[in-house]
C-alpha cells in the first residue's frame, strides 16, 4: 500500500505499474480523484471526451474537464484499490474499488483510448463505469 498526498491510500497489485502506459493510467486516475490539474493537462488531449456512463454525462475538451474537476462537489476518497491495469496498443483499462471517507465502496472501471500507440500519446477518450 502506498500513501499519496491528500490522504488517499493507493493499493496497487504487484507488477501493475511495470509499464510506462500502465503508470500513466494510474497517475491520471489519481490526478482526477485529487483534482491535480497539472497532471491532467500533461496527459489529456485537448479534445478529450470523458463519458460518465452512470450519470449519462459527456464532458468534451480539456478545459471542460478541468472546470468540472474544480466545480464538482466530490466525495472525499480515502482509498483507491486497483485490481488491474491492462494496456494494448492505444487502449487501456483500469478497474478496482474506491473507498470514500464515509466508508462507501464504489466499484469502477475506466476504459481509455489514447491518441496513438507512442509513449507520448495523450488520453483522447475515457468511458467510466461505476457501481
Mean pLDDT of 44-60: 96
Residue 18 has pLDDT above 90, yes or no: no
Question: With bands split at pLDDT 50, 70 and 90, how would you rate the model's confidence at 76?
Answer: confident
46-73 mean pLDDT: 91
Long-range contacts of 13-18 (CB under 8 A, 24+ apart): 13/82, 13/83, 13/84, 16/82, 16/84, 16/85, 17/85
According to DSSP, the β-strands at 8-11 and 105-114 are unpaired
pLDDT value of residue 6:
59
Global pTM reads 0.89
Residue 16 has pLDDT above 90, yes or no: no
Give pLDDT, residue 3: 39
489519481: which residue's cell?
30
Contact (Cβ atoms closer than 8 angstroms) between residue 122 and residue 44: yes
Query: How much is the average pLDDT of 57-80?
Result: 88
Is the pLDDT reported for residue 28 higher than 90?
A: yes
Residues 84 and 97: beta-carbon distance below 8 Å: no
The domain tally of the chain equals 1
Q: What is the mean pLDDT of residues 91-95?
A: 97
What's the CATH code of the domain at 47?
A: 3.10.450.50
Strand partners, 114: 123
Give the whole-number percent of the chain exceeding pLDDT 70. Answer: 92
**Where in the sequence is the domain holding 85, given as residue range(s)?**
2-130
Amino acid at each position: 500500500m502506498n500513501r499519496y498526498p491528500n490522504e488517499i491510500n493507493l493499493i496497487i497489485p504487484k507488477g501493475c505499474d511495470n509499464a510506462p502506459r500502465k503508470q500513466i493510467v494510474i497517475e491520471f486516475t489519481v490526478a482526477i480523484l485529487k483534482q491535480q490539474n497539472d497532471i491532467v493537462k500533461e496527459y489529456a488531449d485537448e479534445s478529450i471526451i470523458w463519458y460518465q456512463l452512470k450519470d449519462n454525462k459527456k464532458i468534451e475538451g480539456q478545459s471542460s474537464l478541468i472546470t468540472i474537476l474544480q466545480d464538482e462537489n466530490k466525495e472525499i476518497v480515502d482509498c483507491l484499490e486497483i485490481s488491474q491495469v491492462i494496456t494494448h496498443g492505444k487502449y487501456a483499462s483500469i478497474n478496482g474499488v474506491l473507498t470514500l471517507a464515509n466508508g462507501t465502496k464504489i466499484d469502477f472501471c475506466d476504459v481509455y483510448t489514447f491518441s496513438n500507440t507512442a509513449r507520448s500519446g495523450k488520453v483522447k477518450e475515457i468511458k467510466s463505469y461505476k457501481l
